[in-house]
Amino acid sequence: STSLQPYGSRVGNFAKNAAARNILETMERKQSNLCVSVDVTKKKDLLDIVDAVGEAVIMVKTHIDIVEDFDMDLVVQLTALAKKHDFVIFEDRKFADIGNTVSLQYAAGVHKIASWSDITNAHLVPGTGIIDGLAKVGEPLGRGLLLLAEMSSKGTLAAGEYTRANVEAAYNNESGFVMGFIAMGRVDDKYAPADKPKRDFLVLTPGVGLDVTGDAMGQQYRTPDEVIYKSGCDVIIVGRGIYGALTKESDDTARQAAVESVRKQGNRYREAGWEAYLKRINH
Ligand code: 5IU
């Protein structure tokens, strides 16, 4: 399995995808496999969280459509923080329409996602035309696409033959635009097509927490060790486990303490993720 190779040695496996190479190189440079997921509704909260954890992460995942005071200045500031702290941006858009529609959703509208997000993701529900529609926009910009092969939530229907179809679609994508999966384990190994040479893909995994096992709406958490070491995934995606403190604060002193807590949790998850990775490659 390619997951037993160090991140840096896998760069050459992604000759056709600049975004994937950049992610692997960033992981080596920063000794981190942590992506922070920032699901907040205020521009200032988003930027403060990202500035506090920026040093610890290789990637920031956004849900840009939940930001109430979104404007293009948010994009300017977010991309400036990406430069300052050396991370990539992942808009978790979960495209799910026909090719023609997703190409418009990706390039245009209020958010112009393709212009600033290094990677994004898509459901395979509509069929492989969704990959073609997104590739038309993303490929010329050097972007990467993840397929949603599995989900972390209770009762997910993304399993079994549906997961296999995602892996087959990725293997059939000759251009290299499909660079990996959202999944709970090494689906690229488990469902590798027998009639094709093995290819390397990145596996990014949400549903990661050290303190709680789930939430009230079906989220299920596993530890960085379970995700990186036991399941062989490449990147841990952590949201409320990192920024949770900041959504509760009221006055200035409390806010400052919350920002410090965000920084601290970011470092804690970076260390846990990296330790699990070192255990994996030295096994
Ligand atoms: N997310 C999941 N599970 C999935 C997929 C995406 O949790 O299977 I696909 C997103 C939802 C949220 C983040 O943006 O990842 C996880 O946030 P918390 O760590 O706060 O649960």
Please report, in range form, the residues annotated as the binding site: 39, 61, 152, 219, 239-240
What is the token pair recorded at 210? Answer: 């050290």
Give the tokens for residue 246.
């900041």
Three-state secondary-structure class, residue 13: helix
Q: What integer pLDDT is reported at residue 250 of this predicted model?
A: 78
Query: Which pLDDT tens digit goes with each residue over 85-129?
Result: 999 999 999 999 999 999 999 999 999 999 999 999 999 999 999
Whether 92 is a known active-site residue: answer: yes
pLDDT at residue 55 tops 90: yes
Question: Averaged over 186-215, what is the pLDDT?
Answer: 97
| CA pair distance 143, 178, nearest whole angstrom | 9
What are the tokens at 8? Answer: 């840096």
Across 195-208, average pLDDT: 97
Q: Cα separations (Å) of 239 from 87, 93, 125, 171, 194?
A: 16, 16, 26, 30, 36
Distance between first and last Cα of the chain? 13
Percent of the chain with pLDDT over 90: 96
Backbone torsions φ then ψ of 277, nearest 5 degrees: -70, -45
Q: What single DSSP character describes residue 42?
A: -
Ligand 1: which of 34, 38, 39 to mutate, most ligand atoms within 8 Å of CB? 39
d(CA 226, CA 171): 26
- Residue 249's pLDDT is 77
Q: For residue 196, how far is its CA from the centre of ligand 1 (angstroms)?
A: 31
Give residue-wise pLDDT tens across range 256-283: 999 999 999 999 999 999 999 999 999 8
Angle between helix axes 252-281 and 43-53 (nearest 10 degrees) is 50
Tens-place pLDDT, residues 29-43? 999 999 999 999 999
pLDDT at 170 over 90: yes
Contact in structure between 57 and 36 (CB atoms under 8 Å): yes
C-alpha 268/C-alpha 261 separation (Å) is 10
The CB-side HSE value for 34 (13 A sphere, CA atoms) comes to 33
* Residue 2 pLDDT: 87
Residue type at 131 in one-letter notation: I
Q: Whose CA is nearest to atom 17 of ligand 1?
A: 239
Across 36-54, average pLDDT: 97
pTM: 0.98
Q: What is the pLDDT of residue 283?
A: 83
User: What residues contact residue 278 under an 8 Å CB cut-off, 6+ apart?
Assistant: none
227 confidence band (pLDDT: 50, 70, 90): very high
Q: CA dist 240 to 7, 13, 280, Å?
A: 26, 33, 26
Tokens of 75: 């994009």
| Per-residue pLDDT band at 247 (split at 50, 70, 90) | confident
Cα of 205 from ligand 1 centre, angstroms: 8
DSSP one-letter string for 103-163? HHHHHSTTT-GGGT-SEEEE-STT-THHHHHHHHHHGGGT-EEEEE---SSTT-S--HHHH
Of 92, 118, 200, 225, which one is the catalytic site residue? Answer: 92
Residues 16, 42, 94, 230: which is the catalytic one?
94
Nearest CA to ligand 1 atom 9: 151
Rounded to 5 degrees, φ, ψ at 91 are -85, 115
H runs (alpha helix) in the chain: 18-30, 43-53, 72-85, 99-107, 129-138, 160-172, 187-190, 224, 240-243, 252-281
Nearest CA owner, ligand 1 atom 6? 206
How far away, in angstroms, is 86 Cα from ligand 1 center? 23
Residue 226, pLDDT score: 98
Pairing outcome for strands 202-205 and 235-238: parallel
Averaged pLDDT score across all residues of the chain: 97
